[in-house]
Structure 1
Amino acid sequence: MSTDIANTLKLQHQYSDLGPVFGTPTPPTPLEKPRTIHVNPSVIALLGLPPVSVGDTAWAELTSGAKLFPGSVPFAMKYTGHQFGSYNPDLGDGRALLLGEVEHQGQRWDLHLKGAGQTPYSRFGDGRAVLRSTIREYLAGEALTALGIRSTRALSIVASSEPVAREKMEAGAALIRVAESHIRFGHFEYLFYTRQLEAQHKLVEHVCAQFLPEVSGHPVQEQAEALLRFTVRRSAELVAGWQSVGFAHGVLNTDNMSIIGDTFDFGPYGFLDDYEPGFICNHSDHTGRYAFDAQPGVVLWNLNALAHAFSSLLDTETLKDCLGQYQPLLVDCFAERMRRKLGLALEDDGDQQLCADLLQILESGQVDFTLFFRTLSHYCGERPAASLHALVAPAQHQALDTWLSRYDQRLQKEQRSATERSHDMLRTNPKFVLRNYLAQQVIEAAEAEDYGPLETLFTLLQSPFDEHTSHEEWAAPPPESGKHLPISCSS
């Protein structure tokens, strides 16, 4: 394996080469007795690497920090950010290291080792990740990617015998996160608030060279405006995607926001079970700042914080104009996603109200969000709509029937058959999502060294629209005890 990677992997260091102001070269602290428990073949292929087996000891060493990839120069990135609305200057990669960048088929990918041990930015932390949080991040990246939502992903999971103290003693673990960029809103805030403006210009130029080559080489102010508009658009598309699949991030601090609009830094996230707009997945979020229905607003708040960091480059009117794109983009993206969930190929003036009224029924009836839309994908105008009635409390049946009559009338405006509509809806509304109770079952099995459930859920999440008829239990709604599981930020 080491020889194969040496011949295949050509690491670059374009970010760390920007200079010492951007972070600190830091060697990883190896985990004790690392062993690979799962490998992600699609991400391996994404990087152009040869296939990897779970039992490959060299791979476990490379992906846990015991050995370095050829040419790697591990680098802890420095950034700051707003956490729960308050600026914190003392942030950075506290338990992760940028190993370098890989180019394959015209795309460049960062390799970022999480659980690498202490760095200059660890503050009082031990720099470790635990198996629980590592599995959650690994699965979430695959789940969102398969749902068509931008996300970071990971190469594999490494477990170890090293104990790590959190709320209780847990097993240490590591993964290598893969993303086109690990640059956060907080990187720009750091350079702005410390008045390192030449470095900020350099960072703008660096990001534009990779993602906006059409403005690369233009005056830095033009590049900054193009970058801010790009980030506003990507962020609006991202949150529209989250809201359409019922995903709550849980910790939308500015240091957890990707400049390219990836879902980033998974912590106490959760997919909705019952449709509950005020769902809070982070048990540390006592005010609901990061509740599910608050996400569109808080992302705009974060974009305002980013725009303030760009105020050294752009005037107030330009900043306002850039930010003004957000709401119409968000509304349009969300409306388009919801039309697809409802099987509406054409746009009609009443669609937003039709969708809003359905969501009100789902909320009032405490209806399972994923299961309802999947069941609606099979609906053909039958009365009584028994399969849908079975999901809704009897008190809401009349409201649902009234809505279905409106839906029937709306479908008459479509120009395709019910079979075509159903087919498209079944490729839009997943059968399988990463419910917290399923993740917890997988984690508990893995902690007992049973990795079969991890493999099963991983496979289902990579193809969530397929029927997988032999795994119906993984598509079931949770028992009451499986709802509102307390999820913390601790990793």
Structure 2
Amino acid sequence: VDLTHVERQQVEPAGLMLSSKPQPCTRSPRVHGSMRSVLRKLVQTNIASPAHASAPVTAAMKKLEEIEFDNLTLRTLPVDDSYNPNTRQVPGACFSLVAPGKVDNPQLVAASPEALSLLDIDPSEIKRPDFVKFFSGNRPLPGSQYAAHCYAGHQFGYFSGQLGDGAAMYIGEVVNSAGERWELQFKGAGPTPYSRAADGRKVLRSSVREFLCSEAMYHLGVPTTRAGTCVTSDTRIVRDPLYDGNAIRERATVITRIAPTFLRFGSFEIFKPTDSQTGRTGPSVGREAEMLPAMLHHTIRTYYPHLWAEHGGDALAASHRAGNEDAWHPLYRAWFGEVVRRTASLVAAWQAVGWCHGVLNTDNMSIIGVTIDYGPFGFLDAYDPNHVCNGSDDGGRYTYKAQPDICRWNCAKLAEAVKWALPERIAKAELAVYDEEYRRTYTRLMRAKLGLTKQEEGDEGLVADLFQLMDEAGADFTSTFRTLARFPMDPAADPSAARDTEDALVSYCTEPEVLAAQRGSRIPPQNLTMLLQLAQRDPALLAQLGATPGMIQEEAERHKASEKLRAMSAQDKARADRTAWAQWLTRYGERLGREVAAGADPAARVATMNATNPRFVLRNWMAHEAIQAAEGGDFSQVQDLLELLRTPFTTENEDASFRAAVARGRRASEPSAVAAPASAEEAAAAAATAPIATSRAAQAAATGEGGGDDYDAAVAGRAE
């Protein structure tokens, strides 16, 4: 039974002077060989296996000229049709009509036939010589109409006023042969009225990352926008990748994104009156009476049709009279509650795969509960609840552990945004379901990750202690959970397998000097001492610096832990890690024993865990090497990586990878032991699951940092 997509079906709904820069990954891989050879080997193996082949496309496929556009959103919501491309405030409109800019010599980096099939596009169309013209903005698709969305938002906790699609463009909506409505969108196709001082373009680095991660998240079972194409060009744009004054000319690149809609929380914040902290207002303040009902009705009728039907939306609209707005409250309340539940479920799915968004501003929150706007995102390598993947998040607002609370805060801001239609007291009653939904979904996912089918009171404690161990040991998130499927349900009956699992888990823990560098205080020691003294003498002055005594104390604890790690040898840490794992695995084994006593099937447990815990995620080093090759004109590594990410739960060649991990674990804590080096097969299989140490420059390139990339708008918003 192919359980690859079980989790998707379950998860989908129906400042202080801190230097929170992304840290190098956990350790250098003990493998050799190029990325190209590793991916080729794995991809060829996976494609050859029918169990991991994509589901055949059965819909009626069409040529590009036959795609059926039905641009309902532009017909329903207010549109600025001036075609004025100049940066400006746009009151009274949800969209502005625009035109994409053309690029020189467009070239296809990669395409996702699966994503394009949502639009009924025949895969053979990708091979057309003029395919790239349609998906670079050089030639319009028949029936398309380009527009940029006007929205506002809270960025890093502060209201920033009008934001909008500064680099994205609505292309149109396609109703496919199955009756599904999909919005097609460009990203990087040129300036719009919302581009501010930017050029509306994107570089190859950030475009490849978003393209790959969108598809990777889909195959991981996480609700997400899709990516159809990635097209680069010979048009050059100037960027300063490291903000060090060394600007370079990079390839202008355009991707296409696909989702039912790209409406977001910020879409409804355009009516916000003057903010008391920032002094900014939404562009359509004062127009909520005429615009907000139309926006809500379009959103609910189109993307929540079950709620519209259940609450008699058509009848309400037909009989609506001014002054009878209360009649809509039950429908609005049901809709808001569903948005809250979908958002809570979504962030639980992020946490379960160890994924950080990086820029969880309200304008980056989907109104239908899918992942949107892939900027400085990152999958966890070594588990670190305080991990910050966004180099511009100096205050650590968007850490991995903060994501559930931040998304709840964002839901509260949505409640404020629609208060003219739904009183806040009613909306906030629905907001109370967020924590319950998050905990329910997260607990279910964690039980699946550990192969537990029965509920026990102590399960949350078992999970919490596992994460504490992983935090202290710097255990690799993805590889740790994947390896736990190897642990026998009856350890006493199979001590060899239990020991091998323990060895492998030790191998995925971070060496002390690397962990010390990652986990140390983000404040220089001499500054930290002064701030600790200031926290005792003058907390008010400390607050003016954007800090609290608690924050400074936390930094002091980080410094203390880092110094302790620096004093530890690699062998001592490996032995400590082994002891910690042995203790936790004993408890886990006892818990599994109770599963067996209740009739659990060991084979089904392994299948469930392997269908829940991915073997492959988009690690930064993998993206970085593919991007480097693409910048040199070789797009095959991006294409190979896309193929690999399509089968994240594959078990092909996994035994070789596991054997290599076991050998590393034994060598780590037993330095006197002589172990044979990993074979070429083991090395190749291990490479794609191992983190890799990178320089700061390489990390910046891998995460897409630099002028003009996806979080520039957030930086600019704060700078203003």
Shorter-chain TM-score: which interval? Answer: over 0.9
The reply on whether 1:114 has 2:180 as its aligned counterpart is no
- Partner residue of 1:324? 432
Matched residue type, 2:239? R
Q: Is the 8 A contact 2:118 2:182 kept in 1?
A: no
The 3-state SS of whatever aligns with 2:130 is helix
- Partner residue of 2:215? 142
Correspondence 1:90-109 to 2 at 5 A: 90-104=162-176, 105-109=178-182
Correspondence 1:65-464 to 2 at 5 A: 65-104=137-176, 105-167=178-240, 168-193=248-273, 194-197=285-288, 198-216=290-308, 217=313, 218=316, 219-380=327-488, 381=491, 382=495, 383-384=498-499, 385-392=502-509, 393-414=574-595, 415-464=599-648
Q: Is the 8 A contact 1:39 1:52 kept in 2?
A: no
Alignment deviations for residues 28-79 of structure 1 (CA, whole Å, 9 cap, x no partner): 1111211212111101212211124555232111111111111111111111
- Partner residue of 1:479? 692
Q: Is the 8 A contact 2:64 2:125 kept in 1?
A: no
Structure 1 CA distance for aligned equivalents of residues 503 and 601 of structure 2: 22
The 3-state SS of whatever aligns with 2:612 is coil
What TM-score do the two structures reach when normalised by structure 2? Answer: 0.66
Structure 2 CA distance for aligned equivalents of residues 303 and 195 of structure 1: 22
Q: Is the 8 A contact 1:250 1:267 kept in 2?
A: yes
Structure 1 CA distance for aligned equivalents of residues 459 and 164 of structure 2: 44
Superposition deviation, residue 291 in structure 1: 1.1
Matched residue type, 1:10? E
Structure 1 CA distance for aligned equivalents of residues 583 and 441 of structure 2: 27
Superposition deviation, residue 441 in structure 1: 0.7
Superposition deviation, residue 480 in structure 1: 2.7
Superposition deviation, residue 195 in structure 1: 2.8
Superposition deviation, residue 249 in structure 1: 0.4
Alignment deviations for residues 414-451 of structure 1 (CA, whole Å, 9 cap, x no partner): 22222221121111111100011111111101101112
Matched residue type, 1:475? A
Structure 1 CA distance for aligned equivalents of residues 160 and 187 of structure 2: 21
- Where relative contact order (Cα < 8 A, 6+ residues apart) is larger, the structure is 2
- Partner residue of 2:68? 10
Structure 2 CA distance for aligned equivalents of residues 191 and 224 of structure 1: 17
The 3-state SS of whatever aligns with 2:412 is helix
Matched residue type, 1:215? L
Q: Is the 8 A contact 1:201 1:220 kept in 2?
A: no
Alignment deviations for residues 302-332 of structure 1 (CA, whole Å, 9 cap, x no partner): 1111111121122233122111011111111
Matched residue type, 2:300? C
CA pair 473-386 structure 1, distance change in 2 beyond 3 A = closer
Structure 2 CA distance for aligned equivalents of residues 430 and 145 of structure 1: 12
Q: Is the 8 A contact 2:107 2:231 kept in 1?
A: yes
Structure 2 residue runs of 5 or longer lacking an equivalent are 1-61, 80-92, 241-247, 274-284, 317-326, 510-573, 654-680, 710-720
Structure 1 window deviating more from structure 2 (142-151 vs 209-218): it is: 209-218
Q: Is the 8 A contact 2:65 2:142 kept in 1?
A: yes
The 3-state SS of whatever aligns with 1:481 is coil
Structure 2 CA distance for aligned equivalents of residues 79 and 53 of structure 1: 34
Superposition deviation, residue 473 in structure 1: 4.4
Across the aligned residues of Structure 1 and Structure 2, the Cα RMSD in angstroms comes to 1.7
Structure 1 CA distance for aligned equivalents of residues 353 and 209 of structure 2: 17
**Aligned residues, how many?**
488
The 3-state SS of whatever aligns with 2:419 is helix
Matched residue type, 1:90? Q
Q: Is the 8 A contact 2:207 2:230 kept in 1?
A: yes
Q: Is the 8 A contact 2:292 2:421 kept in 1?
A: no
Q: Is the 8 A contact 1:191 1:199 kept in 2?
A: no
- Partner residue of 1:19? 78
The 3-state SS of whatever aligns with 1:89 is strand
In our comparison, the structure showing a higher alpha carbon Rg is 2
Structure 2 CA distance for aligned equivalents of residues 413 and 67 of structure 1: 63
CA pair 73-311 structure 1, distance change in 2 beyond 3 A = same
Structure 1 CA distance for aligned equivalents of residues 134 and 119 of structure 2: 15
Superposition deviation, residue 154 in structure 1: 1.2
CA pair 375-27 structure 1, distance change in 2 beyond 3 A = same
Superposition deviation, residue 175 in structure 1: 1.1
- Partner residue of 2:244? none
Alignment deviations for residues 59-102 of structure 1 (CA, whole Å, 9 cap, x no partner): 11111111111111111111110111111123111112101101
- Partner residue of 2:512? none
Structure 1 CA distance for aligned equivalents of residues 374 and 607 of structure 2: 32
Structure 2 CA distance for aligned equivalents of residues 212 and 120 of structure 1: 30
Matched residue type, 1:186? G
Matched residue type, 1:300? R
Structure 2 CA distance for aligned equivalents of residues 422 and 482 of structure 1: 37
Structure 2 CA distance for aligned equivalents of residues 200 and 223 of structure 1: 14
Matched residue type, 2:228? L
The 3-state SS of whatever aligns with 2:136 is coil
The 3-state SS of whatever aligns with 1:69 is coil
Q: Is the 8 A contact 1:110 1:178 kept in 2?
A: yes
Matched residue type, 1:130? V
Matched residue type, 2:78? G
Superposition deviation, residue 387 in structure 1: 2.5
Matched residue type, 2:588? Y
The 3-state SS of whatever aligns with 2:401 is helix
Superposition deviation, residue 4 in structure 1: 2.2
